[in-house]
Structure formats: C-alpha cells, structure tokens
Chain A
Amino acid sequence: MNWQHRTLIIPIALAEPARAACMALTGSASEGLFTTLLYPEGSTEATHAISSGYIAGEFADLLPCGDQPGNIEALQAMLEGVDFPITFDGLAGMLAMIDISEEDADEAMARLGLSLAPPQAPDEVAA
C-alpha cells in the first residue's frame, strides 16, 4: 500500500458532506473523518474539523495539496462511478474550502490559527 500523509482541515459545515463523499469512495476507511474539532484562537466555539494521517496514495494523488492542483475531473468520475452524484463545480467548491497539506497537524493548525482544545475555561467557582 502506498500511504501518503495529509492533514485536512475543513469548515464544520462541510464535514458531513465531505465525509459522505469519502465514504462513498472508501467505505469504512473514511467513517471517522472530520470528527475532531478545531477552535480559533481565543474562542470556545469550534469552526473547523481536522483529520491527519495516512490516506491511500490513489486518492492522495487526486486531491489538491499545496502546489499540486489535484484532479477534480477524475475524482468526480470516481464518485459518479459509485453512484454519488456531484457536479464538477460542487466538488471543486468543496475542495477549495478544505485546507489540504503534507504538514503535520500542529504546523497546519498553527498556520490557520486553530487549535484542538478550546482555551481552558476558568473553572466556575466563587472567588
């Protein structure tokens, strides 16, 4: 298996449709995608979700990543082939909203000003 490391950071609103598209292609190998929440600096409200680790090279090669534009046509064709209809523009729009990089999760999160845990809420006790 050709594994390639990717960190994918996605707006929360897109997490579910993106996961559905990935599951259409890979089944259970994608069922836990985008379930880890990210928070902007100073906020306790999550705005993004992250997945970071290896994905199969056959899919990694088709996704945009850094300077690599990806192959949206091929991805769309694969999705149509598994009965997951999506327009080219819809798919391109979704991918444009996902930050995909080869960076470690920490680097990608720092670049985007996001973090895993919300800022430590002060324990609510009387002074």
Chain B
Amino acid sequence: MSPSAVERPLHRSVCRPFGDGRRKSLSRRLADIFATRTGIWYDPQDLTTLFQDAQGTLPVYRPGTGLVDPPVGLMLDKSGGGYHASQSTTTARPTLSGRYNLLTATETLSTQSVTTVATNYTLSFDGTGTITLSGKATGTYSAGTHTIPCTAGTLTCTVAGSVTRADLRVKRDGSDLPAYQSVTDADNYDTAGFPLFLKRDKVDDDLICQVPTGGITGAWAHGTIDGPMFGTVAIPAGEYHPFGTKLNVGLPDCTQWIAIDGALSASEQAVFERYVYSKARQLIDVKQFGHVRAMVGWLRERADITSIDLTRTDLSNVTNLSDFLRGAENITELDLSGTNLQTAPGYLAPYASKLETVNITGLTFIRGQMIQSFVYCSNLTTIKLDPSIPNPSTDWQNTFWGTKLNQASIDAILVTINTAGTSNGRFNQSGGSAPSATGEAAITAMRSRGWTVTVTGGF
C-alpha cells in the first residue's frame, strides 16, 4: 500500500480547504497552530532538522543507506521558537533508525538467529520453502503471514528450501506499515514507507534544550513506533530534557515530540493528535501499544508531565507497569477505568506526590499483586472503583501507605478485596481516614480467612 493511500483516510476528515479550494495538510495546520503560540516541535522524520553533531555542521543521512544508523547530536525545533535540542557528547547521542524487520538478507533468506523481546511477532514470507523456529518460539511455517508469540532471548530461524521476501517484526495491529521491509544487513535496508524514529540506548543517550522564560504549559505528545502518548506538560524555563532526566528509563523511542503552550481548542487538539498518529502511520481509531508487555519506568520522575491520557492506550498485554509513574510528582489524576491488564499494577506510581484521584473502576487483571502501587502518594484522597467487582490481589503491602484516602475510598477498597473471598493476604494503610463500619465489617471477614490487615484508626 502506498504511503499516500494510508494517510488519505486520516487526513480527509480534518483537512480544511484554502480559499482557492486546495486543502491544507495536517503538517501545515499544525504549523498554523504554532504561528500564534510558543512551543517545541521535534520531528525525527524530517532529515532537514537533524544533524550528527551538536554544532549542526554534519547533516544526518538517511538510515539504511550503507552506513551505521546516524547519531543525532542536534535536533532543530520546527515550532519557530528556536528551542533546539542537542548533545555534545558523542556517545550520548541517540541514533536515527528506520529498521522494523529483524531479519537480514531478506530477499532470499538463509538460516539466522535474532534477538526477541517478550511479545507477539509477525512472520511473513514468500517462496516454496519453510522456516522452522527454535529457541524463544517453535514451529514450522510455510509461505504466508503468521503470528508468533515469543519470549525474550534468541530466536533461530532455520530455512529449508526457497524463502523469499521474509519479514519478522513486532506485531502492531494499529499501524499501516508496508508488509515487507527489505533488509540486506544492519546498515543497508529499505526505509520507504517506514517512519524514522530516534532510538535511545537507555544508558546515557539524551538531548537537551533551553526553554524560554515563562516556560511552556499545555498540550504534549510523544509519538513512538508503538503508539502515541498524549497529555499535558508544565515545562519550567531553563535546561530541559524532553525525554526525561532519568536516562535509563523513559519511552522507548520517538517518532515525534511536541509541546504547545496554552489551551488548544477541540479542533486544534484534533489536528495535533491526528498529525502525531499519521506521522507514525498509526490508525487513530485503533488503540495503540497493544502488543507492549512492559512499560517499566516510562514516565518515571517526569516532573514536567501534569496529566496523561491513557483512554486510547491498549494495555491488555501489559504484564509489568512497575514505576510507570514513579515520582511523577505533578500528575494529579490517573484514569485506568475499564482497563484490562495481564498483571495487577503493582509499583505503578510510588511517590507521585500530587496524585489526588485514581479511577480503577472496571480495572481487571488476571494475576499479580497491587503491592506498593501508590505508596507515599501523599495527596491521594480518592480511589474510584466499583466495590461489587472483586479484586483478586492478596498483597496490598504499602499500596496505600503514606496516603490520605477518604473514608469512602478505604471502605470501597476493603469491600472489593473482601468480595473476592481470598485468604491469607496482607493489607496495610497509613494516613487518611479510618474505615467506617462498612470497611470494618470487610476487615473482620478478611481476618477470619487469614488476612493481616492494618488500617488507620487501628481497628
């Protein structure tokens, strides 16, 4: 499918005609928004804005064209404000990549091994031969398209007969990338139709910019190859790290990064969001991140982020949300209502000190524990949930330690635990309100089944 065919449906509903009947692109409309506002706009897919060195003397080259994926030492701000991000230390520069297919010599495949993460992959190929998988997945496959569940480690693809146009990549249902990416080797691969992205090594890679006096407070988006993250930010003036200051965690890559000062109208927000989706060739009507299993530390210690919208994020395969919002000290609300997880969100948001309200109405998970999810969220007052829905977690150690839950919330939590009928669990709470008679009745029932329960007020 051609790129234009993919982008057309996304664009159609938001394009507006010029006076002469021509339509403005999403990019142009976003530029119009920036014309009257301060902001920052980084576009890793616009090669004219990227340089290998911090001084801007060495333009980047397109990845896959025979050299190593280029380092990015300077990324120009497209907002017009001049808030360019740079990195002087060569080893600390992110790289620009467009590689999606893990295989090499893909036109006529031979036996090889690749490194996988724990998720589903798509394997597709032509030819009369077969591929037999061993290691982190097993099975023998003929030509066609196959979903391959993998664990993390080494996957060996043993080829028998003629296998051509082979492609193995992370399965992303919400994207519309070309079905095949030709890869000769790590330095030679086709990027046509494949969004470029910045890759950080999560060791020391970082880009830094200077934010103007007054800072930037408003809409924020960080696009990745797995989906976009939307929210709001309050960025103070001065040195700023767009990917966070904690270099060994954070969002995995970057297809687009935008912050816009001031409140956006509904139509402006729509343009903003559709632009970010379209740049990564992601379908706006499909929840993104669907294959992702671990979001460990993605927004850890991001004091700049003031809200996050997870309503269009598919968390259904997530097994690990540890430290997702740890120390994200300016987030006040978190909505996980209706979210289905593989594993309970233990360690989700420790020390998110301004978090006041968490909505877990309808949150379900298959296994795991709630341990330390909100420890020392010292302003956490309200947990919204449906107490009639049982919560199967039996380890609530420190989950609400150092919080200030109101009575309705502590009651509802205790009732939802008791409703599950589980035994021999542990629960403690400090700060906030003591449970009412409703909560105390739940505690009595839980203790009769071997639970250890400590709550404010000492019941």
A-side interface residues toward B, CB under 8 Å? 1, 3, 5-6, 8, 26, 28-33, 35-36, 50-56, 104-105, 116-117, 123, 125-127
B68 interfacial contact with A, CB 8 Å: yes
Q: Which of A8, A52, A123 has the most CB of B within 10 A?
A: A123
B-side interface residues toward A, CB under 8 Å? 52-54, 58, 67-68, 70-71, 87-93, 95, 201-205, 247-248, 350, 372, 375-376, 397-398, 401-402, 428, 430
Contact B52 A32 (CB under 8 A): no
The CA-CA distance from A1 to B93 in the complex, in Å, is 14
Contact A32 B89 (CB under 8 A): yes
> Which of A1, A53, A123, A125 interacts with B91 by CB under 8 Å?
A53
Please indicate the chain A residues that have their CB under 8 angstroms from the CB of B87 in the complex.
32
Contact B203 A123 (CB under 8 A): no
The CA-CA distance from A105 to B202 in the complex, in Å, is 9
> Which of A29, A104, A123 interacts with B372 by CB under 8 Å?
A123
- Cβ distance B59 to chain A, nearest Cβ, rounded Å: 11
Contact B203 A52 (CB under 8 A): yes
Output the nearest chain A residue to B428 by Cβ-Cβ distance: A127
Contact A51 B204 (CB under 8 A): yes
* Those 9 A-B pairs whose CB atoms lie nearest each other, nearest first: A32-B89, A53-B91, A28-B88, A51-B91, A116-B248, A105-B203, A36-B204, A125-B401, A52-B203
The CA-CA distance from A51 to B402 in the complex, in Å, is 38
The CA-CA distance from A33 to B359 in the complex, in Å, is 43
Contact B401 A53 (CB under 8 A): no
The CA-CA distance from A8 to B201 in the complex, in Å, is 14
Interface of A, secondary structure class, is mixed
The CA-CA distance from A125 to B402 in the complex, in Å, is 9
Given known pairs A6-B91, A29-B90, A36-B247, the reply for A53 and B204 (CB within 8 Å) is yes
Q: Which of A1, A33, A36, A54 has the most CB of B within 10 A?
A: A54
Please indicate the chain B residues that have their CB under 8 angstroms from the CB of A5 in the complex.
68
Output the nearest chain B residue to A116 by Cβ-Cβ distance: B248
Please indicate the chain A residues that have their CB under 8 angstroms from the CB of B204 in the complex.
32, 35-36, 50-53
Contact A30 B398 (CB under 8 A): no
**What 7 additional pairs, Cβ within 8 angstroms, besides A3-B71, A6-B91?**
A3-B52, A28-B89, A36-B203, A51-B89, A53-B95, A55-B91, A105-B203
The CA-CA distance from A29 to B58 in the complex, in Å, is 14
Contact B205 A53 (CB under 8 A): yes
Please indicate the chain B residues that have their CB under 8 angstroms from the CB of A123 in the complex.
350, 372, 375-376, 398, 401
Please indicate the chain A residues that have their CB under 8 angstroms from the CB of B375 in the complex.
123, 125
Contact B93 A54 (CB under 8 A): yes
Contact B88 A54 (CB under 8 A): no
Please indicate the chain B residues that have their CB under 8 angstroms from the CB of A56 in the complex.
90
Q: Which of B88, B92, B372 has the most CB of A within 10 A?
A: B92
Please indicate the chain A residues that have their CB under 8 angstroms from the CB of B402 in the complex.
125
- Cβ distance B199 to chain A, nearest Cβ, rounded Å: 11
Contact B90 A54 (CB under 8 A): yes
- Cβ distance B116 to chain A, nearest Cβ, rounded Å: 14
Contact B89 A105 (CB under 8 A): no
Please indicate the chain A residues that have their CB under 8 angstroms from the CB of B58 in the complex.
1
